[in-house]
Structure 1
């Protein structure tokens, strides 16, 4: 599938989305290289990966060598199979190997809880 294929049911219903939360500790002398590499990965993911709904990168205010990634995909398959098989992901892995400290990568996978639906508000309940 490509980024231009019709939206799947998960794209229309992000409550079924797969979220990836990543904490990264970067070597102090590699911050700029890391930022350049993760920016390229994020942009390529958003504009080329079928099923990538969001890709946010944050830098810790107190610890400037710590970054947080918040990625949302239409499904677990979109992340684990489609995203991880792209050339830009493997380019990113090479940058990560050079920039991330030993033991400085934590990845958490999560499923979205649709609090709007549970609360009975939102577009599916006639709200905008």
Structure 2
């Protein structure tokens, strides 16, 4: 088994906030890809339900991913989308 960590994060925006949430999620990509330990960081939008977004991430370790969660761009993101997200699900996974 791998020591790498796979993250699948599902974000659902309020229907009237889809474009705002999408714009804020897109802002996360560039700075996150520059972070130590980030191997992949891919954002997807559901074709049938555009309010649903999924990040598929691969990190060198859980510790480096947790550092990411404390980064300035993540903290700013949380503030920017406050009240615009209807649901958020995060799965920490291991590639088999």
Structural mapping, 1:9-48, within 5 Å: 15-47=2-34
- Which 5+ residue runs of structure 1 have no aligned equivalent? 1-14, 114-128
Q: How does 1:50-61 map to 2 (within 5 A)?
A: 50-61=36-47
So what's the TM-score if we normalise by structure 2?
0.90
Partner of 2:64: 78
| CA distance in 2: counterparts of 1:96 and 1:110, whole angstroms | 25
Paired position in structure 2 for 1:106 = 89
* Higher relative strand content: 2
More helix by share: 1
Of the two structures, which has the highest relative contact order with CA contacts closer than 8 Å and spacing of 6 or more? 2
Pairing 1:97–2:82 present = yes
Equivalenced residue count is 95
- Computed over aligned residues only, the root mean square deviation of the Cα atoms, in angstroms, reads 1.2
The structure with the larger Rg is 1
Moved runs in structure 1, 4+ residues, more than 4 A? none
| C-alpha deviation, 1:98, in angstroms | 2.9
Q: TM-score, normalised by structure 1?
A: 0.69
